[in-house]
Amino acid sequence: MNFLVNKKEGILDKLNFLTAGIPTSSKDYTDAFDKLEELNLDGLEVEFVHGVRYSEKTRSAILNRGSKVISHHGPYYINLNAKEEEKIQASIKRVLDTARAGSDLDAYSITYHAAFYLGDSPEIILKKLIERHEIIVETLQKENNNIWIRPETTGKRSQWGTLDEIIELSKNFNQILPCIDFAHIHAREEGKFNTYDEFCKILETLANNLGQVVLDNFHGHVAGIEYGSKGEKKHLIFEESDFNYKDLLKALKKFDVKGILVCESPNIEQDCKILKDYYLSI
């Protein structure tokens, strides 16, 4: 099976550190990449939170970014397990539109929160999501769009998207691999998965189930996080959180993970720089 659907030189030879959206100190995309260059950061994730829309000015700024890496986060309104057919079709379209924007803007990868349980069992949802992702992948293949599709591990227990669930979906497609949000896993499990050994276990589980391809073509998220009995509450800066980013980075280096790690802390560029500087010091 040919998993390298979107091989980009300069991305897959190292771990790249990206901000989730433009730096807080940037006014828009026209100066965002200059700010990233000043900070020695590798790129950003374009956040299509409320819909896949961008101006020609934004498009030009992104396409003229030089060697910086980008990825896309799909809209939050995606739910591929919705009860209403019109919501399912709208969710499929939002994933497709995110992927089409990725092709247009030369992105490495796209990610999104795939579904909510809504009372269904994980087994029933998996069957539905396989069927709906078949539509997505087949449509993109007809359009010659080979961008990586990445359902994300989710932080709330009402959301479909445990590590095992994402892996099982990914097994069915060449073009789909997980987006691993380490803070979400930590929050969903109420403080577990926060040690070097536990981070290594996540990476081993990925490689054992999906092959070395998943570590050589990685897409991950990380942030400080507040959580409770229902999982994620909100993102925090690392300084205000118990998230053990240093052990995570040690595990990523041990496994020689290549691809992107996106920082979603509220002070995105500051915490992203903390991540990259510590990683390079190991």
Q: Which domain holds residue 248?
A: 15-281
CATH code where residue 259 lies: 3.20.20.150
Task: Give the residue carrying structure tokens 């550190």.
Answer: 17
Strand-pair partners of 221:
181, 262
From first CA to last CA, the distance across the chain in angstroms is 34
156: confidence class by pLDDT, cuts 50, 70, 90: very high
Instruction: Provide the pLDDT for residue 11.
Output: 62
Q: What is the pLDDT of residue 12?
A: 75
What distance in Å separates the CA atoms of residue 36 and residue 32, rounded to the nearest whole number? 6
Contact 140, 216 (CB under 8 A): no
Q: How many domains does the chain have?
A: 1
pLDDT at 4: 45
Residue 8 lies in a domain: no
Asked if residue 266 belongs to a domain, the reply is: yes
Which two structure tokens, joined as six digits, stand for 140?
A: 């993109």
245-254 and 196-210 are packed helices; what angle lies between their axes, rounded to 10 degrees?
Answer: 40
Residue 6: inside a domain: no
Q: What is the distance between the alpha carbons of residues 117 and 123, in angstroms, rounded to a whole number?
A: 11
- Is the pLDDT at 176 greater than 70? The verdict is yes
> In this structure, is residue 156 part of a structural domain?
yes
Mean pLDDT of 152-166: 98
Asked whether residue 234 is domain-assigned, the answer is yes
Instruction: Determine the average pLDDT of the residues in 48-69.
Output: 96
Q: How confident is the model at residue 8, as a pLDDT?
A: 55
In a domain, 2, yes or no: no
Identify whether 207 is part of a domain.
yes
Each residue of 82-127: pLDDT tens digit? 999 999 999 999 999 999 999 999 999 999 999 999 999 999 999 9
Tell me what the pLDDT averaged over the chain comes to.
95
12-57 tens-digit pLDDT: 799 999 999 999 999 999 999 999 999 999 999 999 999 999 999 9
Q: Read off the pLDDT band of 1 (50, 70, 90).
A: very low
Please give the average per-residue pLDDT across 232-242, as a whole number: 98
pLDDT of residue 264 exceeding 50, the answer is yes
Distance CA 130, CA 177 (A): 13
Over residues 252-277, the mean pLDDT reads 98
Note whether residue 9 is domain-resident. Answer: no
Three-state SS letters, the chain: CCCCCCCCCCCCCCEEEEEECCCCCCCCHHHHHHHHHHHCCCEEEEECCCCCCCCHHHHHHHHCCCCCEEEEECCCCCCCCCCCHHHHHHHHHHHHHHHHHHHHCCCCEEEECCEECCCCCHHHHHHHHHHHHHHHHHHHHHCCCCCEEEEECCCECCEECCHHHHHHHHCCCCCECCEEEHHHHHHHCCCCCCCHHHHHHHHHHHHHHHCCHHHHCEEEEECEEEEECCEEEEEECHHHCCCCHHHHHHHHHHCCCCEEEEECCCCHHHHHHHHHHHHHHC
pLDDT tens per residue, range 184-197: 999 999 999 999 99
